Chain A
């Protein structure tokens, strides 16, 4: 650190040395005894070695995953990676089954956790008094400290029969495939309107300038109404057929509960980092709290909020125990996009390969597929985390 005291001391020593014999005595006194300097160096090296442990851990993780995954890929026919089921002991290694499972669970989790987490973040950052914050924030911290296996049990024994089954009875969960029943097609259209048509319409209207922008609000309201009508029609035309005891939706809800605190805390940090002056300027112009939250603080903190969501997706994809307990994936799982059926994810497939009744031991390719899945998971979460980090850093740079 330039200009700090140790550097200044070093400069003083150099300066003293150039000033004859007296100066050299002073330099020795300033430098301290050689025993003392030796101890300092030894301690510094000790700390450096400790710091290198984490690098060593990363190295071993990558070495383990790469070596075993490559040996797995060279053992099997690469065409086997695209089949119709994940059943490693029968030589069926369809990774689409696992990727779809992870995607669905993460999707459900985000649908549950995004509104709850962001809502909590906005409230804690913009509305709560310091006193309220002190009492409400521990709620989120306690929620964050619940072990994931506990949430797995909760998802399987409580959410699945009491929430998912009724919900699945009532509405037909849309699948990422053309639905069989009218109810399913209707609910799928509703979701398409909500998630695709509305954002697309808003973007298009905004590019049309002032006249288009004026229509954005009414158009959104109208489209939300259309989606609502589609949902009502879907429910009226029979709804869904309930769900099985183990299902992907329950696992998704469980993971959702797990990531609420994560989203809330990262997003809240981002919003609190927005300078007061921005808020005060808005209030000075007569804005109300809701306008300040939604149109000043939220856009200003958008990088941090996106980062929160990315980290949450990464966490949802990496979550093992909730899915292993509640989704019902076993050693052999068929490809499915149906949320009400049992399914499996990358993590749950690792789990069922490595422990429980389906444990496979030995050096066959079924066992090595474990490390291939680990590598897949590592790469996906790594990319999401890096992307999240980029967004986090952008918030810091702005202010």
Chain B
């Protein structure tokens, strides 16, 4: 401290009083205060828009919410506003979210793991990364066109079963069937191993519940595969304008989001953690599986949940795929059979109702908006809680 003591001779040209006045005049910065006020007001305006929107929608939906809250949630689409409800829309949206989770999460996480952990060739990584970044900026309606051409027409309605593509589709069904069986066997083996290791009751319960859900899902999947095999000549792989086409399209749409958020989560894991793993002789996969992915899990999960909220709210692609905006009936088909049939989803229902001039339908639209806002806000809240609770800084 003594070595760097300031020189004692101050410049004489500035009077100390000038300096102290200019430092202490902090409170009289009128221009600055106005500027700060303006900045704050931009945030207040954004908040006000949000509040007005929510109040307006609540007010508009009041008659529906008070008069038939249960009925509205369980009724199907109808041209009669007194009978119409959003049950089919909710089911469609949840099915699309499920298909998205099933396809986009594993593919997205695997892509990110490849880019961050495995790839050594700079050129390949740069190409795939550039491609993902561009995909993330493609408007959703273009994904709708992709789905319309590829999943609805080429692999659905127009698929010639005897063509090369048609035979390939049959082969794909067989491969998927084998994968379903193998995954069930693997999950059951995991359950047996977990039970043998005598875990704590909570962990045991979680394992059993998750495994049960997976087995149920795979049963539905195999049922879908069987239906598709049977009706292959009529509707091909996807069944044309079906919820499967919509779900796969939405999965393609959110894939880049999952990849980008996963890459960010993986990058946040410090290199030292990986090197500790390599140092004790673990292989690349063992390091990824046991060290990197668990450390990055909160970030990955947050991104995944956010992409689900996007999947529920996205309307343009599923409308292009052919989500119904008016009355349709799915008869008494099972869940798996309905996957190949006509469908609708909440955003499509809202779109269909929003342009109708009827005042009663305006109230219905507002009520359907409440439902979709509850769903998206809930998923977002889960994501924010996950991030705030488990986010680690290294």
Chain A interfacial positions (CB closer than 8 Å to B): 1, 4-6, 9, 32, 36, 39-40, 43-44, 46-48, 50-55, 57-58, 60-61, 64-65, 68, 115-120, 122-124, 127, 136, 138-143, 145-154, 156-158, 257, 260-261, 264, 286, 288-290, 293-294, 311, 314-315, 317-321, 324-325, 347, 350-351, 354-356, 370-371, 374, 377-378, 381-382, 385-386, 389
**A143 CB, min distance to chain B CBs, angstroms:** 5
A143-B46, A288-B32 in contact; A321/B316 too (CB < 8 A)?
A: yes
For window 116-152 of B, CB contacts with A under 8 Å fall at 118-120, 127-128, 131-135, 137-146, 148-150
Chain B contacts of A46 at CB under 8 A?
110
* Beta-carbon contact of A154 and B47 below 8 Å: no
Provide the bound-state CA to CA distance between A140 and B127, in Å.
32
Provide the bound-state CA to CA distance between A123 and B45, in Å.
13
The 8 Å CB contact of B36, one of A51, A156, A289, A371, is: A289
Please choose the segment from B79-87, B193-201, B317-325, B333-341 that sits at the chain A interface, where 4 or more of its residues have CB less than 8 A away. Answer: B317-325
Number of A-B residue pairs with CB-CB distance less than 8 Å in the complex they form? 258
Which residue on chain A has the smallest CB distance to residue B120? A1
Chain A contacts of B252 at CB under 8 A?
57
Chain B contacts of A120 at CB under 8 A?
39, 42-43, 46
* Beta-carbon contact of B128 and A157 below 8 Å: no
**A387 CB, min distance to chain B CBs, angstroms:** 11
A-B contact pairs, 22 of them (CB 8 A): A53-B111, A55-B127, A119-B42, A120-B46, A123-B36, A139-B50, A141-B380, A141-B384, A142-B50, A143-B49, A147-B315, A149-B350, A151-B53, A158-B52, A290-B31, A290-B35, A293-B35, A320-B141, A321-B347, A350-B141, A377-B142, A378-B138
Provide the bound-state CA to CA distance between A370 and B145, in Å.
8
* Beta-carbon contact of A119 and B285 below 8 Å: no
Interface residue B238 (Cβ < 8 Å from any Cβ of A): no
* Beta-carbon contact of A55 and B47 below 8 Å: no
For window 263-315 of B, CB contacts with A under 8 Å fall at 271, 274-275, 278-279, 283-285, 306, 309, 312-315
Chain A contacts of B373 at CB under 8 A?
146-147, 150
The 8 Å CB contact of A36, one of B40, B49, B283, B366, is: B283
**B244 CB, min distance to chain A CBs, angstroms:** 17
The 8 Å CB contact of B377, one of A142, A314, A319, is: A142
A116-B42, A127-B36 in contact; A351/B319 too (CB < 8 A)?
A: yes
Provide the bound-state CA to CA distance between A255 and B113, in Å.
35
With contacts A47-B114, A61-B146 known, what are 11 further pairs, Cβ within 8 A? A47-B113, A54-B131, A55-B131, A64-B150, A116-B45, A139-B46, A158-B53, A286-B22, A311-B137, A356-B325, A371-B145
Provide the bound-state CA to CA distance between A5 and B306, in Å.
35
Chain A contacts of B237 at CB under 8 A?
none
* Beta-carbon contact of A139 and B139 below 8 Å: no
* Beta-carbon contact of B140 and A318 below 8 Å: yes
**A246 CB, min distance to chain B CBs, angstroms:** 9
* Beta-carbon contact of B110 and A50 below 8 Å: yes
Provide the bound-state CA to CA distance between A50 and B258, in Å.
13
Interface residue B56 (Cβ < 8 Å from any Cβ of A): yes
Chain A contacts of B69 at CB under 8 A?
none
Task: Give 1 or 0 for each of B348-359: 1 = CB within 8 Å of chain A CB.
Answer: 001100110000
**B260 CB, min distance to chain A CBs, angstroms:** 11
* Beta-carbon contact of B376 and A145 below 8 Å: yes
Tell me what chain A mostly uses at the interface: helix, strand, loop, or mixed: helix
Provide the bound-state CA to CA distance between A52 and B57, in Å.
43
* Beta-carbon contact of A57 and B135 below 8 Å: yes
* Beta-carbon contact of B139 and A381 below 8 Å: yes
* Beta-carbon contact of A321 and B114 below 8 Å: no
Which residue on chain A has the smallest CB distance to residue B278? A5
Provide the bound-state CA to CA distance between A329 and B106, in Å.
39
* Beta-carbon contact of A122 and B39 below 8 Å: yes
Chain A contacts of B316 at CB under 8 A?
148, 320-321, 324, 347, 351
Chain A contacts of B372 at CB under 8 A?
147, 150
Provide the bound-state CA to CA distance between A152 and B347, in Å.
11
Chain B contacts of A374 at CB under 8 A?
141-142, 145
Provide the bound-state CA to CA distance between A350 and B146, in Å.
13
Chain B contacts of A370 at CB under 8 A?
145
Interface residue B250 (Cβ < 8 Å from any Cβ of A): no
**A320 CB, min distance to chain B CBs, angstroms:** 4
Chain A contacts of B106 at CB under 8 A?
50
List of 3 A-B pairs having minimum Cβ-Cβ separation, nearest first: A318-B139, A147-B313, A119-B42
* Beta-carbon contact of A138 and B140 below 8 Å: no
Chain B contacts of A350 at CB under 8 A?
141, 144-145, 320
* Beta-carbon contact of A51 and B283 below 8 Å: no
* Beta-carbon contact of A119 and B43 below 8 Å: yes
Interface residue B90 (Cβ < 8 Å from any Cβ of A): no
Chain B contacts of A294 at CB under 8 A?
35
Provide the bound-state CA to CA distance between A123 and B37, in Å.
10
**B236 CB, min distance to chain A CBs, angstroms:** 16
**B114 CB, min distance to chain A CBs, angstroms:** 4
Which residue on chain B has the smallest CB distance to residue A144? B380
Interface residue B259 (Cβ < 8 Å from any Cβ of A): yes
Interface residue B386 (Cβ < 8 Å from any Cβ of A): no
Interface residue B255 (Cβ < 8 Å from any Cβ of A): yes
Chain A contacts of B110 at CB under 8 A?
46-47, 50-51
**A299 CB, min distance to chain B CBs, angstroms:** 16
**B121 CB, min distance to chain A CBs, angstroms:** 10
Chain B contacts of A39 at CB under 8 A?
285
The CB with the most chain A CB atoms within 10 A, among B41, B146, B275, B312, is that of B146
Which residue on chain A has the smallest CB distance to residue B43? A120
The 8 Å CB contact of A54, one of B39, B111, B146, B369, is: B111
The 8 Å CB contact of A382, one of B56, B137, B255, is: B137
Interface residue B210 (Cβ < 8 Å from any Cβ of A): no
* Beta-carbon contact of B131 and A123 below 8 Å: no
Chain A contacts of B279 at CB under 8 A?
5
Which residue on chain A has the smallest CB distance to residue B128? A51
The 8 Å CB contact of B354, one of A32, A50, A152, is: A152
Chain A contacts of B145 at CB under 8 A?
61, 64-65, 350, 370-371, 374
Which residue on chain B has the smallest CB distance to residue A7? B120
